[in-house]
Amino acid sequence: MSIAKTARKTKNSTEVLQDFRLACESREASLLGRKEVFMGKAKFGIFGDGKELAQIAMAKVFQPGDFRSGYYRDQTFMLAIGELTLQQYFAQLYAHTDVEADPASAGRLMNGHFATRMLDDEGRLKEISKLKNSSADISPTAGQMPRLVGLAWASSLFRQRKDLHRFTELSNKGNEIAFGTIGNASTSEGMFYESINAAGVLQVPMLTSVWDDDYGISVPKEYHTTKYSISKALAGMQRTKNEPGLEIMTVKGWDYRALIAAYEKAAKICREDHVPVLLHVTEVTQPQGHSTSGSHERYKSKERLEWEAEHDCIRMMRNYILQEGFADEATLDEIEKKAKSTAKAAKDAAWKAFNSQLKAAEDEALALIDMAMEQSIHKTALKEIRQELATTVNPIRMDSDRAVRKALRTIREEELEVKDRLRTWIKREENANFDRFSSHLYSQSEEAATNIEVVPPVYSESSKLVDGREVLQACFDEALARDPRVFAFGEDVGKIGDVNQAFAGLQQKYGELRVTDTGIRETTIIGQGIGAALRGLKPIAEIQYLDYLIYALPTLSDDLATLQYRTKGGQKAPLIIRTRGHRLEGVWHAGSPLGMILHSLRGIYVLVPRNMTQAAGFYNTMLQSDDTALIIECLNGYRLKEKVPDNIGTFTVPLGHPDILREGNDVTIVTYGSMCRIVMEAAHQLESEGISCEVIDVQSLLPFDVNHKIVESVRKTNRLVFADEDVPGGASAFMMQQVVEGQNAWRYLDSKPVTISAREHRPAYASDGDYYSKPNTETVFDAVYKMMAEALPNRFPDIY
């Protein structure tokens, strides 16, 4: 053999053996992980066994600046790119709540949910173009796909838009691939098809790998996929010489060499030509079955199990290495043995680090209870509490907490020195546990929306009176001129400047990539926004009507709303979602499902401006902030006249600060959005009947009245009404809880608090349909009058 050939072979064999070692270590981690769950040391386990080789091959083409958007099987990939250690892997399995121990989620996510830390300790975006990035996983199957489209789309924008080339910390001129992974069964989800279609239309560098093991938990492929094969089912999307589309490839999950070649080819097409690639990785196995929740012997036949054993990718790789003469049996045995001890050492270290923290909490708790036993007359009861804690196998924080609380309960009637210590311990743990389990629902950085400076609007003699939509248009114009990272997109947003023309003329002025049309596909519109925002851009994604937000709800709720929380401040996607609602006509164009939104979108601010000036102020606030918000404009407000503030591009409206629209003494009416005008009209009519209403526009539902302004009004009026267009018990119930319970308004009430809302059904079509479905001036008048009549029947006789 020539020297050059020998050298090549040595280099090859070194790399092959390194890959083999990594595959074995990852496999051992999976095997050990399952055992840890069965030993009761972890709650649940889901592992990447069977997918090792494909992921090693994928990692070889993953470059700095690239992104992953995948799912819970990808541990080998994360290990291979150096963004996960085996110890961190086990730390997440145990739910270690330190960011250093589990950088992906600080113990908040189930094991196998991967993420890199893209933000520094101050919450600022790092130089992501130099990092290997993984966006944070979620559990809902295919939920990673819309975000994947956005991550890939950002590359396309960075490449095509020269004015973004200077943002070298974000992108190397759009050279980055977004790598997606998904299980074969999850390709049945609508989100998968919507995302693949969007990628094909947009022609973005999105390389999606399907790990196909023929099953989705127990359900075989015959139930999932047309033609039992996702690559066959999608064949019509294959690009041709004349038509753009996807490059669709297949490769077997146990074939090490073919996998490497496939990923090299796929990455080249994707990176260089920005063509999306679907790589269908077939004949993948799942040696331990789906998860620790069950065993696959229940649903796989004996033949299938034998086939899986034979086609186990590590076994196949071992054969390949022997065949090629890269190593002998003894060397491979040694690597396998070493992998076992490496994985075990990592597991032990992770357990020790996890457990020593819990042990420290337990020791403190036991010492305090001992002290209590010395001082208290209730020695027997305290001894029992102590005994219960001391004998708990693998106690967790909850056990120590419970014991200390029970001890304090037991001695509550005694005057003991230890009580203060117990209380201090509980307070300290409460604070620490808030940080461990409840922090970072919203941004905690300097750029948090609630920190943005308030700049009031300025008006002068020359301020123009225009249609409401023109106020927005002026605001968006300035935003686009100010910052190249700002851009807007959605159905009909581009050419016609949205269906209500707030972007009219702005595509012509700023170009097709700044003000952009999309297909009708709400969940991937949001995905585009999430991906672009994750990559440092400032997108405004438009959902045409509030009613159609429902189509995007899973992506908003599962992905965007949880992002900062699930990474404990490791990632952010400051996306602004623009939509319009409340009033138009009919069942699907007049919705106001704010209860649904408030219940499902905690983590996203919900802003409900009453007019376009307030909306513009919210846009200005949010564009300066790194939080994410849903801004709902009033559908019937675009043609109402408003004055354009002279500082249209810079004035801000603060979040969580209600406006008092009208002062009054008898009743406080709390409302928002399009209802403001209706309530104001009713208040005007009530005034003529001698009832003085104070009308408060909350403006933002999340956050809600941060300075408790509403209760101040109730102190004066002693009567409280909430009015909105949602169903009964929807957002009005939320507001009532915030004010009556949260602000203690019940203390000042002389009448039962009342909610005015729409009927339980959606609004019927046309003006009468609207009138009899939604609250109107008469409804508000009557509800307030009735309240006053109940209190003062002599002054306010029954009308009806």
Ligand X SMILES: Cc1ncc(C[n+]2csc(CCOP(=O)(O)OP(=O)(O)O)c2C)c(N)n1
Angle at 608 between CA 602 and CA 609, to 5 degrees: 150
Rule CB under 6 A: is residue 287 a binding residue for ligand X? no
| Shortest reach from residue 653's CB to ligand X, in Å | 37
- List, in order, residues 6 or more apart from 704 with CB less than 8 Å away: 656, 698, 734, 735, 738, 742
User: By C-beta, is 184 or 621 nearer to ligand X?
Assistant: 184
* Choice from 17, 31, 217, 466 touching ligand X (CB under 6 A): 217
Terminal Cα-to-Cα distance of the chain (whole angstroms): 105
3, amino acid identity: I
**Can you read off the two tokens belonging to residue 50?**
């069977």
Query: CB atoms < 10 A from the CB of 381, how many?
Result: 17
Rule CB under 6 A: is residue 186 a binding residue for ligand X? yes
* Contact status, residue 287 vs residue 254, Cβ threshold 8 Å: no
CA pair distance 682, 677, nearest whole angstrom: 9
| Shortest reach from residue 185's CB to ligand X, in Å | 3
Tell me the per-residue interface mask from 96 to 135 with ligand X, x by CB under 6 A, - otherwise.
----------------------------------------
Sign of CA dihedral 411, 412, 416, 419: positive
Rule CB under 6 A: is residue 627 a binding residue for ligand X? no
* Choice from 55, 184, 755, 779 touching ligand X (CB under 6 A): 184
Rule CB under 6 A: is residue 213 a binding residue for ligand X? yes
| Shortest reach from residue 291's CB to ligand X, in Å | 8
User: By C-beta, is 185 or 382 nearer to ligand X?
Assistant: 185
Rule CB under 6 A: is residue 676 a binding residue for ligand X? no
* Contact status, residue 698 vs residue 724, Cβ threshold 8 Å: no
Applying CB under 6 A, the site for ligand X has a residue count of: 14
* Choice from 73, 117, 280, 485 touching ligand X (CB under 6 A): 73
CA pair distance 526, 520, nearest whole angstrom: 12
* Choice from 114, 211, 254, 442 touching ligand X (CB under 6 A): 211
| Shortest reach from residue 30's CB to ligand X, in Å | 13
| Shortest reach from residue 300's CB to ligand X, in Å | 12
Q: Which range binds ligand X by CB under 6 A, 215-223, 384-392, 608-616, 664-672? A: 215-223
540, amino acid identity: I
Rule CB under 6 A: is residue 69 a binding residue for ligand X? no
Q: Which range binds ligand X by CB under 6 A, 102-110, 214-222, 626-634, 636-644? A: 214-222
User: By C-beta, is 72 or 734 nearer to ligand X?
Assistant: 72
Cβ burial of 439 (10 Å; 0-12, 13-18, 19+) is middle
Rule CB under 6 A: is residue 555 a binding residue for ligand X? no
Angle at 539 between CA 533 and CA 540, to 5 degrees: 135
* Choice from 116, 141, 528, 562 touching ligand X (CB under 6 A): 141
The count of residues in the chain is: 800
DSSP per-residue string spanning 450-515: GGSPP------TTPPEEEHHHHHHHHHHHHHHH-TTEEEEETT-STTSSTT-TTTTHHHHH-TTTE
User: By C-beta, is 184 or 713 nearer to ligand X?
Assistant: 184
Phi, psi of 790, rounded to the nearest 5 degrees: -65, -35
Rule CB under 6 A: is residue 220 a binding residue for ligand X? no
| Shortest reach from residue 216's CB to ligand X, in Å | 3
Q: How far are the Cα atoms of 251, 483, 500, 655, 722 from residue 629, in angstroms, in the given order?
A: 42, 19, 21, 10, 23
Rule CB under 6 A: is residue 757 a binding residue for ligand X? no
User: By C-beta, is 285 or 621 nearer to ligand X?
Assistant: 285
Residue owning tokens 């909105």:
724
User: By C-beta, is 138 or 735 nearer to ligand X?
Assistant: 138
User: By C-beta, is 81 or 185 nearer to ligand X?
Assistant: 185
Rule CB under 6 A: is residue 139 a binding residue for ligand X? yes
Q: For the stretch 296-307, what's the b/e string if a residue is b when 16 or more beta carbons lie within 10 angstroms of its beta carbon? A: beeebeeeeeee
DSSP per-residue string spanning 388-443: HHHT-SS--HHHHHHHHHHHHHHTTTS--THHHHHHHHHHHHHHHHHHHHH--SS-
Rule CB under 6 A: is residue 626 a binding residue for ligand X? no
Strand pairing of 605-607 and 693-697? unpaired
* Choice from 17, 98, 140, 421 touching ligand X (CB under 6 A): 140
| Shortest reach from residue 525's CB to ligand X, in Å | 20
| Shortest reach from residue 206's CB to ligand X, in Å | 18
List contacts with ligand X (CB under 6 A): 73, 139-141, 183-186, 211, 213, 215-217, 290
